[in-house]
Amino acid sequence: MKKLTITCLILFFSFLAFSQKSYENPIALNLKNLDLDNFKKVVIDKNKFDDTVSVTARVNSNTILYAKIVLSEKAALLGIWLNYNADKWLFMKKAIIKIGNQKFDFDLEKTKRTVVSGNYVNESCLIIPSEEFYRAILNADPKETDITIRFSGDYIRDKPVSRSYIKKLQYVLNAYELLLDSSQ
């Protein structure tokens, strides 16, 4: 069952990656020759059932923005998740992420909605970052750059991304940079 789930996840990532015009082809890798010790301040999870590796930073269920890389022999796929947690449904359809003075718009067509407990709900959506969005996060100075997400649906909610989570995003994006360098 886990292998089927991971395979579906990889196919889903592949579909999203190729459906986004601004996203480049996934990176081809040789996982056996990849030195995972070079990846600093990230969590590496090796799945022994399907030979995939995931790279992310330590986050909790309330994290509103986080990055994850899924690695296989065929590709390294970068995805960024948006999470909205509250006591009532937003039914989010759009998000605007403001990084300093730059704004990035996202249509959130494939939003997953779950009841976490009692009247506490979670809405989450995977986005595939454009090169410009990716670089804006990577180059943001966590001490000086504010990142805010505007979730839009039945109503609008603005949520700031904490400085510590900006750094965690950058840890994963730096790992992705190492993958880019190692694939060439």
Q: What is the CATH number of the domain that holds 36?
A: 2.60.40
Take residue 49 and report the two structure tokens written for it. 């059932």
At 118 the pLDDT is: 81
Containing structural domain, residue 53 = 2-183
At 183 the pLDDT is: 63
Helices (H) and strands (E) in the chain, counts: 3, 10
Indicate the pairing of strand 65-71 with strand 43-47: unpaired
At 37 the pLDDT is: 62
Full strand arrangement of the beta sheet holding 76-86: 43-47, 52-56, 65-71, 76-86, 120-127, 112-117
The DSSP secondary-structure symbol of 27 reads B
At 62 the pLDDT is: 75
Cα separation, 165 vs 144, whole angstroms: 14
Global pTM reads 0.76
The structural domain count of the chain equals 1
At 32 the pLDDT is: 55
**Consecutive sets of 10 residues in the chain, 184 residues long: mean pLDDT of each?**
43 41 46 60 79 80 83 81 91 95 93 88 90 92 93 95 91 83 66
At 65 the pLDDT is: 87
Take residue 31 and report the two structure tokens written for it. 């996982």
At 6 the pLDDT is: 42
Helix ranges restricted to H, the chain:
2-19, 131-139, 163-183
